[in-house]
């Protein structure tokens, strides 16, 4: 944290010493960057308005982000503004840059507020940064009139004031109520206490289901082994290579190895498969469906 304070203090000191640009110089620098990609002109333009970026970043310190990070995001917004600024529109660069700086810093704050995405629309972003202010204002107005608002009434008024659905207000209230907590934190002060993650429902297969699946797989292996025993050595070889191996062989490659035509290998495979089918028919109709 000391390094953070030292860094942003140094940045602020340098920013305050930067030159103040008049409108004519500003326009000249902006055109030099736009038309000629003059990096020195860009550097002068950015340096002159770095104090504006730092000032905007400081407004968001209350959201808990390090000032260094906020300044960095504000600087990125300032550079985006310089890259997209059109000096021919007759607007001062500072007026144009404020929007980009603000958008960059707000996006950073929301992105780092929680592991759960806090908001994705412009209305949700407006709600995130204005909800507390609007809530306080509504409570003051109600108190001045001698009235009181319950939670539901207050949320409804906030939704109307900001112009967002009530569901968004309810969602944002939960987001702003506190920061994220680790599931590995114990539920009590006792170090040997149960962690919160232990209270989550296990969506994996339960013991009974696991035993049942293992039993069915073992039974299937037994039936397949018995069916394979009904085949001669050549038929077993073809079935293993064509049906049971990870990299299934082609009819042509098996024909080359056995000295048979591709069509003959196909016929032997079909005959062997039919023998296995008859054996398995007496065992389970379910296996028939698996081999279909």
CA dist 289 and 4 (Å) reads: 67
CA dist 197 and 154 (Å) reads: 34
Q: Are 193 and 187 in contact (CB under 8 A)?
A: yes
Closest CA to 163 of 125, 136, 113: 125
With tokens 């404020």, the residue in question is 98
**What is the mean predicted confidence (pLDDT) over 206-229?**
79
Give the pLDDT band of residue 86 (cuts 50, 70, 90).
Answer: very high
pLDDT at 73: 93
Is 279's pLDDT higher than 90?
no
Lowest mean pLDDT among 30-34, 156-160, 209-213: 209-213
Is 98's pLDDT higher than 90?
yes
Is 3's pLDDT higher than 50?
no
- What DSSP state is assigned to residue 165? -
pLDDT at 1: 38
Look at 102 and 165; give whichever has higher pLDDT: 102
Give the pLDDT band of residue 236 (cuts 50, 70, 90).
Answer: confident
Instruction: Round the average pLDDT of the chain to a whole number and report it.
Output: 79
CA dist 95 and 80 (Å) reads: 14
3-class state of residue 186 by DSSP: strand
Give the pLDDT band of residue 25 (cuts 50, 70, 90).
Answer: very high
Look at 137 and 126; give whichever has higher pLDDT: 137
Phi and psi based region of residue 184 (left: phi greater than 0; alpha: psi -120 to 50; beta: remaining) = alpha
- How is residue 198 written in tokens? 């232990």
Tens of pLDDT, residue by residue over 168-205, are 887 777 666 655 555 565 655 555 666 656 656 666 66
Domain assignments of the chain as residue spans, ordered by start:
2-113, 122-176, 207-291
Domain 2-113, what architecture? Up-down Bundle (1.20)
Look at 69 and 163; give whichever has higher pLDDT: 69
CA dist 107 and 101 (Å) reads: 10
**What is the mean predicted confidence (pLDDT) over 68-87?**
93
pLDDT at 177: 64
Is 2's pLDDT higher than 50?
no
pLDDT at 53: 92
CA dist 82 and 93 (Å) reads: 8
Q: Between 3.40.50.1000, 1.10.620.20, 1.10.10.10, 2.102.10.10, what CATH number should domain 207-291 receive?
A: 1.10.10.10
Describe the crossing of helices 67-84 and 23-36 by its angle, rounded to 10 degrees. 80
Give the pLDDT band of residue 74 (cuts 50, 70, 90).
Answer: very high
Find residue 186's DSSP bridge partners. Answer: 195
pLDDT at 29: 93
């Amino acid at each position: 944290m000391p390094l953070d304070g030292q860094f942003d203090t140094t940045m602020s000191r340098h920013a305050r010493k930067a030159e103040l640009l008049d409108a004519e110089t500003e326009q000249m620098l902006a055109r030099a960057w736009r038309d000629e990609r003059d990096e020195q002109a860009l550097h002068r333009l950015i340096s002159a308005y770095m104090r504006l970026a730092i000032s905007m970043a400081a407004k968001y310190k209350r959201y808990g982000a390090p000032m260094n990070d906020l300044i960095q995001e504000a600087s990125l917004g300032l550079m985006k503004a310089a890259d997209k600024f059109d000096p021919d529109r007759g607007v001062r660069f500072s007026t144009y840059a404020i929007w980009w700086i603000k958008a960059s810093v707000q996006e950073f704050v929301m992105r780092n507020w929680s592991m759960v995405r806090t908001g994705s629309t412009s209305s949700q972003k407006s709600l995130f940064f204005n909800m507390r202010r609007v809530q306080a204002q509504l409570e003051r107005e109600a108190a001045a009139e001698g009235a009181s608002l319950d939670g539901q009434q207050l949320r409804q008024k906030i939704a109307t004031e900001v112009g967002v659905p009530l569901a968004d207000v309810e969602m944002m209230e939960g987001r702003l109520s506190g920061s994220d907590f680790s599931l590995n934190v114990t539920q009590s002060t006792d170090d040997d206490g149960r962690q919160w993650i232990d209270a989550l429902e296990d969506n994996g297969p339960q013991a009974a289901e696991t035993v049942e699946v293992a039993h069915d797989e073992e039974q299937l292996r037994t039936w397949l082994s018995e069916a394979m025993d009904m085949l001669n050595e050549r038929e077993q070889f073809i079935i293993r290579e064509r049906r049971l191996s990870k990299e299934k062989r082609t009819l042509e490659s098996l024909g080359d190895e056995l000295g048979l035509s591709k069509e003959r290998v196909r016929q032997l495979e079909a005959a062997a498969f039919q023998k296995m089918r008859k054996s398995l028919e007496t065992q389970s109709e379910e296996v028939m469906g698996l081999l279909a």
